[in-house]
């Protein structure tokens, strides 16, 4: 397997982590997430994060989230994003070769009408399904009691 710097191919599954405590996904409403699940935050200066399924399962992607949190995962197919003229580029991080970014949504354009429409497109038409919830980082096990 490569280091994650190769271009994202059309047949790849992409995952977007959705915090379970936000209400951005309601399992009683089917397989569609809220457009808010695709919003940019202040750290998203070059695009919103996705994870490549060829490098990690949905559960493993969630395990990279915060300890004590639970996450759902929106599953999308890269070719469908490309067909909608969306740009997804590899952005491997040292600990995560599967990290990639959707360049069309970032902090500087987050409040534009165009991006609001893109978030609806991602949530309502391009999300294939939502799975989970899965736990975030698990705390390390406490050391065994050395008292006898």
Cβ atoms of residues 61 and 17 within 8 Å: yes
Spacing of C-alpha 133 from chain mean position:
13
> pTM here?
0.89
pLDDT mean values, one per 10 residues, the chain (148 residues): 90 97 91 94 95 96 92 97 97 90 96 97 96 82 44
Cβ atoms of residues 38 and 121 within 8 Å: no
- CA-to-CA dists, residue 41 to 44, 85, 108, angstroms: 5, 22, 10
Cβ atoms of residues 18 and 72 within 8 Å: yes
pLDDT at 148: 37
User: Can you read off the two tokens belonging to residue 90?
Assistant: 């590899």
Residue 71, burial from CB neighbour count under 10 angstroms (0-12, 13-18, 19+) = buried
pLDDT at 138: 64
**H/E stretch holding 70:** strand 70-77
């Amino acid at each position: 397997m490569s280091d994650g710097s190769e271009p994202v191919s059309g047949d790849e599954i992409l995952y977007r982590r959705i915090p379970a405590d936000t209400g951005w996904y309601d399992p009683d409403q089917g397989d569609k997430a809220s457009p808010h699940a695709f919003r940019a935050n202040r750290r998203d200066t070059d695009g919103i994060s996705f994870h490549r399924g060829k490098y990690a399962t949905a559960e493993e992607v969630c395990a990279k989230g915060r300890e004590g949190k639970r996450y759902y995962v929106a599953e999308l197919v890269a070719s469908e994003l490309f067909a909608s003229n969306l740009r997804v580029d590899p952005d491997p991080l040292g600990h995560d070769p599967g990290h990639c970014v959707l360049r069309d949504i970032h902090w500087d354009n987050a409040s534009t009408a165009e991006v609001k429409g893109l978030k609806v497109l991602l949530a309502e038409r391009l999300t294939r399904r939502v799975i989970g919830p899965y736990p975030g980082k698990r705390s390390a096990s406490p050391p065994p009691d050395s008292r006898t």
